[in-house]
Amino acid sequence: MANTTVGLMRRVKTDAGWKYYPAAYAKNGRVIPKTALVDGEDVKHDTGHYELRFYRGSKLVFESLSNATPAAAEDARKKKEAQMSVVKDATAANMVVVEGPTRTKLKKTADDYIKMKQDSGLLEAAEQAILVTAEFIAVVKKAYVDEIKDTDFARFHAALRKRKLGDRTVANKHNRAASWLIFAGIDRDKIPAEPPYEKKLPTIIQREQISTLLGAADDYMTMMINIAWKCGLREQELMYLEFADINEHDRTLRVQGKPEFEFKVKDSEQRDIPIMDNLYVDLMAWKKKQPGQSLVLANEGGKPNSHLLRTLKRLARRAGLNCGRCKGCKSENQECRNYTLHHFRRTFLTTMLKKTGGDLRTVQAFAGHTDIESTARYLAPDDKHGVRQMEW
């Protein structure tokens, strides 16, 4: 007999990666916001979304509800369960459920697109897709794919700019929405080109600023900063870096996926990065201080540390490095936008290109870029002081 039970799950981001847990319910039957049932306890997780869990025949299926509210998610669960019961009863009575003419719903394609990203291990892309698809649907106020016109993109751009989002952010959201709608079946040629934006030179952290940060850092943050700017790792690559990734014979660091943490390397390409002599010495000393620990930058519980960025921003504030002008500095937490983990990566790439005389292919391999154009962005103009001293 067909199983018509539909469960409401919450897919949440934990220190060990993305996990499914049953949604938590209050005594009055309402879904508790942002809360999952973990080992019988109600646990709040700010990052996550709801999904329906049910069987289609013998196959277990998860259906994303993207950014649905707790009440909307529960309504969707009840509706899905009712639909499955109707089909079950009709089948038992030798009746056939006939549906009307089919049109592809935007919301359904958005859910499928998000699920595709999640199944591919592209969890950051999936989270971005959740936001962008919901924003686009809210702006255009259309239900079906065949209703979308090129003018809807102009409306989308205008709505984003009304929120005072920058040109680069508008372009990024345009490209994410375009990727989704092409996935939904819209002809690529019918989608407008991305809106223009000023392409800024990559910003880096100066050596003096790094020295000031290190002067205010404890041993843990000193290790993190040195790895970040001497190896150019991305945030999650730092989080999941293990001592086993260090080849002590070749003195290289391997960036690779970690299935146990549901972490996949961007573009699915492993890479080896040479470890500078002084960093190698520091890493070996740090390893001796972490007996039995696999992760290089584990949190106090021995798990991946998902708060590296927040800790860095607080360190910059304590060190007196906040610029005092950006929105981050003027926010309640006073977290300067000039200090991110990606700034260390930019610093590494820019420095490597200078040291290697602009060897793009070598630095491309260290960076893990799939195209050389991404690496070429970090080529800095020639020394300004040398230009000033030139005679004409």
The CATH number covering residue 291 comes to: 1.10.443.10
Does 113 share its domain with 85?
A: no
Does 76 share its domain with 220?
A: no
391 within some domain? no
Q: Burial of 327 by CB count in 10 Å (0-12 exposed, 13-18 middle, 19+ buried)?
A: exposed
Helix (H, G, I), strand (E, B) or coil at 41: strand
Does 152 share its domain with 299?
A: no
Does 162 share its domain with 225?
A: no
Which amino acid appears at position 294 of this protein?
S
What's the N-to-C CA distance of the chain in angstroms? 89
198 within some domain? no
- What's the pLDDT tens digit per position in 152-172? 999 999 999 999 888 989 999
pLDDT greater at residue 88 or residue 131: 131
| End residue of a domain, out of 57, 92, 127 | 92
**In contact, 308 and 235? CB cutoff 8 Å:** yes
Does 318 share its domain with 228?
A: yes
**Number of domains into which the chain is organized:** 3
Sign (positive/negative) of CA torsion 294, 124, 365, 259? positive
195 within some domain? no
Does 116 share its domain with 16?
A: no
265 within some domain? yes
Give pTM, 2 decimals: 0.60
Q: Which residues of 149-186 are buried (b: 16+ CB within 10 A; e: fewer)?
A: eeebbeebbebbeeeeeeeeebbbbbebbbbbbeebeb
Cα 207 from Cα 213, distance rounded (Å): 10
Does 232 share its domain with 315?
A: yes
72 within some domain? yes
Reported confidence tier of residue 201, pLDDT bands at 50, 70, 90: confident
Tokens of 95: 């009746």
Q: What is the mean pLDDT of the chain?
A: 88
338 within some domain? yes
| End residue of a domain, out of 125, 155, 190 | 190
**In contact, 20 and 7? CB cutoff 8 Å:** no
Range of the domain at 153: 106-190
Residue 263: is its pLDDT beyond 70? Answer: yes
- What's the pLDDT tens digit per position in 282-331? 999 999 999 999 999 999 999 999 999 999 999 999 999 999 998 889 98
Does 184 share its domain with 282?
A: no
Does 86 share its domain with 150?
A: no
Does 38 share its domain with 68?
A: yes
Does 146 share its domain with 52?
A: no
197 within some domain? no
Does 342 share its domain with 214?
A: yes
**pLDDT of res. 117:** 84
392 within some domain? no
